[in-house]
Structure 1
Amino acid sequence: MAKTASRPFAASVTSTGSAEPHAVHSLFWKLFLTMWLSIVGFSAALGWLNDKLAREQWAEEPADSFERGIYRIGQRAQQALLMEGRKGLRDELLNIPRMTRGHIYVVDGENAEVLGRDAALAQLLGRGTAMDTTEIQDGAGTTYTLYTVNRTPPSTILAPGPQGTALRLAAAAAISALISFFLARSLATPLEVLRGASRKIAAGDLATRVSRSMPARQDEIGQLAADFDAMAARLEAMHIANRRLLQDVSHELRSPLARLSVALEIARKKGAGHIASEIERIGLESERLETLVNDVLGLLRESSEATTRLDEDIDLNELLSDLVDVVNYEVPEGKPGIGWTPAEHCVLHGDRELLWRAVENLLRNALRHTDPDRGVRLTLEPARRKSNLLITVRDFGGGVPEAELAKIFEPFYRVQESRDRGSGGHGLGLSIAANAVRRHGGTIQATNAPEGGLVVQISLPVTGTA
């Protein structure tokens, strides 16, 4: 089979819309889980260590220790009142730390708080705050009322012990999850945008830019986006320049070819005599050169359009059947030509002209290099995944060396230079076919059959994507 043809990027054309990676393997989840588990692990270790050290230093529970301290302060206040009277009581209360003093109030016989905190005491009584009362007397027998405010137990999340530690850890996990989510998203989202843009460029849309989608970023990711846009702009400029050059060269070649053809016809009509064979040779080479120019222009048409119209439903059985009839018309009489095996109701949404040219190139390529007595076999069938259709072209020629299979879809590539020239190939047929398949979101690959010959298989999604 003809070892010619193309694909600018690799040996097999794959859809740019490949399946998304599993969520566990995505960058977002890797970042999120790494940051979140690190924070939670650190918080858990710190909470456990803090609780352990605190418990080792406590002689008793904090609540018991506080109540015991309040009781001792009350005893000292009672002793000061008994020994030194109201002044001694006042001095004793003023020596109590401010935070602890708010838990002790002493009211004299006239219902006046010794330190003048009547409003604060009334507010506590009005709220129904739990307090213990004790009556104490001075040396003269005057009765005072000692109020000790019970300590409000801390909320469960602030309380020491395993339960409080667990709640604090849960709160830290929730807060860190929120922070990790937004941080991971801020890193993964622009990379996903870059990934999508790179796929568009791989699909031929060189006008794709990413800076507009992240204008506020001035960090390394923003710089990467700017560099990506600069690269895309450079590729687009080079692509346009190369396309213009090839178009100009191809069109410039057509004019002298046309004049050469006219001159040859005039020479034939006048009678060339003994140079007739040379004139025939010139005519043959002119035809080959014109075929090359047409192939180059065809390849340019396939590769220069960023998007393809995939807007019609195509009956592949009908398309391939018509194509087989056209190509078989050129097969010498008595030769098997192309054997065709259709499938049941295979409809594809795409571009009929593109698919026609793709399969036509494969069939003509196969006919040039197959055993003429065995012909070429064309098969259409659904893939194991019902969402894909398989078109297989099988020849019975010499096949392709395994080391060359990865290159036969490159433009102008020939496996056997002399044989391809003798058959009229220029190394563009498979390239044109590969571009057409790529634009339908499909794949194309070549393998050697075990019993000899080359098998080229196209896999097309039932719903094509540009």
Structure 2
Amino acid sequence: MHRLFWKIFLSFWLTLIIFAALLMFAASSYLEHIRTQQDIGSIRTRLSEYFNQGQTVAKQKGIEGLKEWLDRLDHSEAIPIFLIDEAGKDLLEREIPADIIARLDRRREHAERGERKRPPHQQPIRLPDGSAYRMIPDFQSITLLRILQRPRVIGLPMAVAALVSALICLLLSRYLTFPLERLRRATQHIAAGDLTQRVVPSMGNRRDEIADLAGAFDKMAERLEKVFGAQRQLLSDASHELRSPLARLQVALGLARQRSNGQAEKELDRIELEIERLNELIGQLLALSRLEAGVDAAHIDRIDMQEMLEDLIEDAQFEADSRGCQVKLQKAFPVMVKANAMLLHSAIENVIRNAIKYTKRDTAVEISMREDAGNPDSIIVQVRDHGPGAPEEMLPHLFEPFVRVEEARDRLSGGHGLGLAIAERAVQLYGGEIMARNEPDEGLSIYIRLQRAKI
């Protein structure tokens, strides 16, 4: 009985039963009320009142006023009441039941023989033009449908049934959506890199499909945490362990240069270049592992972004000169952000260096800063190159470790596919966001959204 299927089924079933029971109770109560009125003879009093009202309306407003009065009466009275003229037609042109026609024939016969005197409500309602209408109640046509269609009969039970069903549905909706909302928030946290999220403790004593889903979710999160934790530890340990043989290799290279007497300079230069690349790769792996572990994330500085960009451009211009391009700061303004100065400097530097690698000769890497139109609490830094760009399907993956575009942005550039991954993690540590987009006139732009520092 703890399964969610049965909870939903029984809740809706109970709501329908309550709704139907209230309607049946109201209808039966009203029918009993009508029967009681008939038993004590009060129906004659009501009919006499209706007759007097109709006669007054007929004298004052004529046939049109009489039609309006009869129409209103028909919509409020459970007993159908007809006004029939001498030709046997109803004033509202309704179909007259056969038993009423027979009743009129019997009355006509009694009147012709003068057998009995008619009560007041059986007298004809006369109009100023001389025409007359007889008021005939149709007790045989009191149906449940007609009673339910009368607003004053159905209004209260409908309101009560609606309130009860709304309360049941509200509780059921809350019961269903609260754990789903908790799952949604936990999923968002995991997507953002927080693998410590668990939802089973917030489920309480639930024993249904949602609780099963929460348990499966926690097992998945635990497994992911272990796998990614092991991966990060492996990268960190491998990077540290590689530093020692790399240092010994550099010492051996120096000794080899001394003993070669210049006979193997070309080969030794190549070895030195590869050692430098390997050293750079190890440094990037260590930086990535520190970012993944959140090291130094708690150390926050107030940073003037205009000043930081100017310093970065000055340093990057040396590398740009060797590649026959330039680095330009097109637009900047004083604004403060909160982040770790070293990490943010490294993140933007990686993006700029990446742009320098791929921009064409005699072009410029353009850096600009602007307000975020969609969020006044943040700014956007744009770094644009004039290179070949990247395939559209690869844009979401450019910030994953060791991802390269095979054609334009490949291994020939000398990169390891870690620069943008490091930049993304450094920016995200402080609530920022980084994305890539191809420009219509060739080139790739990297957009870095940063949160302003609160005053």
Q: Given that residues 197 and 221 in structure 2 are in contact (C-alpha distance below 8 angstroms), is that contact kept between their aligned partners in structure 1? A: yes
What is the Cα deviation at residue 309 of structure 1?
3.0
User: Equivalent residue for 1:287?
Assistant: 276
Aligned mates of 2:262, 2:409 — CA distance in 1: 31
Whole-angstrom CA distance in 2 between matches of 1:463 and 1:193: 30
2:35 alignment counterpart? 62
Cα distance change on mapping 1:406 and 1:206 into 2, 3 Å: closer
* 424-433 or 240-249: bigger deviation: 240-249
Q: Is residue 441 of structure 2 the alignment partner of residue 439 of structure 1? A: no
2: distance between equivalents of 1:303 and 1:319? 24
Hey, what does 2:201 align to over in structure 1?
212
More relative contact order in 1 or in 2 (CA 8 Å, sep 6+)?
Answer: 1
Q: 1:358-369 counterparts in 2 under 5 A?
A: 358-369=347-358
- The answer to whether the 8 Å contact 2:325/2:356 transfers is no
Q: Is the 8 A contact 1:209 1:232 kept in 2?
A: yes
CA distance in 2, matches of 1:200, 1:306: 19
Question: Partner of 2:396: helix, strand, or coil?
Answer: coil
Matches within 5 A, 1:382-397: 382-385=371-374, 386-397=376-387
- Of 169, 190, 198, which aligns to 1:180? 169
TM-score by length of 2: 0.66
Deviation at 1:166, TM superposition (A): 0.8
The within-5 A match list for 1:6-21 is: none
Shift of 1:162: 3.0
Structure 2 residue aligned with 1:202: 191
Residue 300 of structure 1, CA deviation: 1.3
Report the counterpart of residue 259 of structure 2 in structure 1.
270
Separation (CA, whole Å) in 2 of partners of 1:211 and 1:404: 36
Q: Would the alpha carbon gap of residues 312 and 171 (structure 1) be closer, same or farther in structure 2, given more than 3 Å must change? A: farther
Q: Secondary structure at the match of 1:445?
A: strand
Any idea what SS the aligned residue of 2:381 has?
A: strand
Contact 1:363 1:393 (8 Å CA) reproduced = yes
Q: Distance in 2 between matches of 1:455 and 1:272?
A: 49
SS in 2 for 1:332: helix
| Counterpart among 422, 431, 444 of residue 454 in structure 1 | 444
Letter in 2 for 1:365: N
- For 1:226, the equivalent position in structure 2 comes to 215
The SS at the match of 2:435 is strand
Instruction: Tell me the residue number matched to 2:244.
Output: 255
Deviation at 1:362, TM superposition (A): 0.5
Q: Give how far 1:50 is off.
A: 8.0
- Out of 365, 372, 380, the position equivalent to 2:361 is 372
Partners of 1:310 and 1:203 in 2: how far apart? 20
CA deviation profile, 1:377-411 (whole Å, cap 9, x unmatched): 00110122223311111111222233433332221
Alignment partner, residue 84 of structure 1: none
TM-aligned CA deviation for residue 366 of structure 1: 0.6
* Deviation, structure 1 residue 296: 1.2
Please give the per-residue CA displacement for 1:140-176, whole angstroms capped at 9, x wherever unaligned: xxxxxxxxxxxxxxxxxxx995324211111122222
In structure 2, the residue matched to 1:324 is: 313
What is the alpha-carbon distance in structure 2 between the residues aligned to residue 51 and residue 193 of structure 1?
A: 43
CA contact (8 A) 1:204 1:305 kept: no
Residue 115 (structure 2) pairs with residue 163 (structure 1): no
Indicate conservation of the 8 Å contact 2:372/2:378, yes or no. yes
**Residues in 2 aligned to 1:241 and 1:45: alpha-carbon distance in whole angstroms:** 61
2:345 — aligned with what? 356
Cα displacement (A) at 1:279: 1.0
Partners of 1:63 and 1:306 lie apart in 2 by 85
Letter in 1 for 2:34: E
Task: Name the structure where helix makes up a greater proportion of residues.
Answer: 2
Of residues 262-271 and 309-318 in structure 1, the stretch that sits farther from structure 2 once superposed is: 309-318
Q: Say if 2:420 is the partner of 1:430.
A: yes
Within a 5 Å distance, the mapping from 1:26-45 to structure 2 comes to none
- Counterpart Cα distance in 2 of 1:40 and 1:463: 53
Alignment check: 8 A CA contact 1:47 1:165 kept: no
Structure 1's 416 and 219: CA in aligned 2 closer, same or farther, altered over 3 A?
A: closer
Deviation at 1:54, TM superposition (A): 8.8
Q: 1:274, CA displacement in angstroms?
A: 2.4
The one-letter amino acid of 1:305's match is G
For 2:360 and 2:38, how far apart are their aligned partners in 1?
A: 102
Spell out the pairing of 1:39-54 with structure 2 (5 A cutoff): none
- Deviation digits for residues 328-369 of structure 1 (CA, Å, limit 9, x no counterpart): 244427955210134333222333333222111110001111
Q: Tell me, which stretches of 5 or more residues in structure 1 are unaligned?
A: 1-31, 70-158
Helix, strand or coil: the match of 2:263? helix
Answer whether contact 2:296 2:340 (CA < 8 A) is retained.
no
How has the CA–CA distance of structure 1 residues 288 and 334 changed in structure 2, closer, same or farther, with 3 Å as cutoff?
Answer: closer
- Change beyond 3 A, Cα 1:228–1:44: closer
Q: What secondary structure, in the 3-state scheme, does the structure 2 residue paired with 1:416 have?
A: coil
CA RMSD of aligned residues (A): 3.4
Q: Does structure 1 retain, via aligned residues, the 8 Å contact 2:387–2:444?
A: yes
The residue correspondences of 1:37-116 to structure 2 (distance < 5 A) are 61-68=34-41
Equivalent pairs counted in the alignment come to 340
Q: CA deviation at 1:288?
A: 0.8
CA distance in 1, matches of 2:188, 2:357: 36
Work out whether residues 22 and 161 of structure 2, in 8 Å CA contact, stay in contact via their aligned partners in 1.
no
2:130 — aligned with what?
Answer: none
- TM superposition score normalised by structure 1: 0.65
Q: Is the 8 A contact 1:412 1:426 kept in 2?
A: yes
The separation in 2 between residues aligned to 1:232 and 1:179, in whole angstroms, is: 34
> Which residue in the other structure is 2:370 paired with?
381
* 1:410 aligned residue: 400
Structure 1 residues 214 and 401: CA distance shift in structure 2, 3 A: closer
* Matched residue type, 2:40: E
Unaligned runs of 5+ in 2: 1-7, 43-147
Query: Partner of 2:445: helix, strand, or coil?
Result: strand
- Supply the AA of the counterpart residue of 1:64: Q
- 1:234, CA displacement in angstroms? 1.1
Q: C-alpha separation between the residues in 2 aligned to 1:307 and 1:221? A: 38
Percent of matched pairs sharing the same residue: 40
Q: How far apart are 1:47 and its partner, in Å? A: 6.7
